């Protein structure tokens, strides 16, 4: 896949995922593009894999290009960057996970930056609040009618 095709696919993934969740991460993009399996991602989160790049189905140059395109397209889409810590799942001390083979700070930052669709986040919060209010009203109504 050439750079133009890759950019188009990334734009679609960013749009779809940010609409669903209100934010998108480079990991989301890699999974949607088929360059990272959900199983490998989970194993990395559990600390079974030393760095995420080791289990990606694409070379380091392509991964670097993907991260640059995610940042560029997110800026055009007015998605707000937000750094997110990735710690190992499970019990015990919190251990920061490594994305890159090199451990370079800039590469790690690129992988751990989520891009937030503030408008969509607010919509999702509002929908959740309204849903909770309806559920509370239904529970109160049920309690009243059961007496």
113 SS3 class: strand
> Over 60: is that where the pLDDT of 144 sits?
no
Rounded to an integer, what distance in angstroms lies between the CA atom of residue 114 and that of residue 71? Answer: 10
Q: Which two tokens stand for residue 68?
A: 């640059």
More confident residue, 93 or 63: 63
Confidence of residue 92 (pLDDT cuts 50, 70, 90): confident
* Beta-bridge mates of residue 80: 116
Rounded to an integer, what distance in angstroms lies between the CA atom of residue 108 and that of residue 20? Answer: 25
For residues 30 and 92, the answer to whether their CB atoms sit within 8 Å is: no
**pLDDT tens per residue, range 15-32:** 999 999 999 999 999 999
**pLDDT tens per residue, range 30-88:** 999 999 999 999 999 999 999 999 999 999 999 999 999 999 999 999 999 999 999 99
What is the structure's pLDDT at 26?
97
Rounded to an integer, what distance in angstroms lies between the CA atom of residue 140 and that of residue 135? Answer: 9
């Amino acid at each position: 896949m050439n750079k133009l095709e890759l950019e188009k696919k990334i734009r679609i993934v960013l749009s779809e995922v940010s609409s669903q969740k209100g934010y998108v991460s480079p990991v989301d993009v890699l999974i949607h593009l088929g360059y990272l399996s959900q199983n490998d991602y989970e194993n990395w989160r559990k600390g079974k894999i030393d760095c995420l790049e080791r289990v990606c189905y694409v070379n380091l140059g392509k991964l670097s290009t993907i991260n640059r395109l995610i940042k560029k397209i997110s800026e055009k889409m007015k998605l707000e960057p937000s750094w997110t810590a990735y710690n190992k799942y499970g019990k015990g001390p919190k251990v920061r996970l490594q994305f890159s083979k090199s451990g370079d700070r800039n590469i790690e930052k690129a992988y751990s930056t989520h891009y937030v669709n503030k408008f969509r986040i607010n919509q999702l919060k509002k929908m959740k609040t309204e849903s909770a209010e309806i559920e509370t009203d239904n529970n109160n109504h049920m309690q009243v009618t059961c007496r």
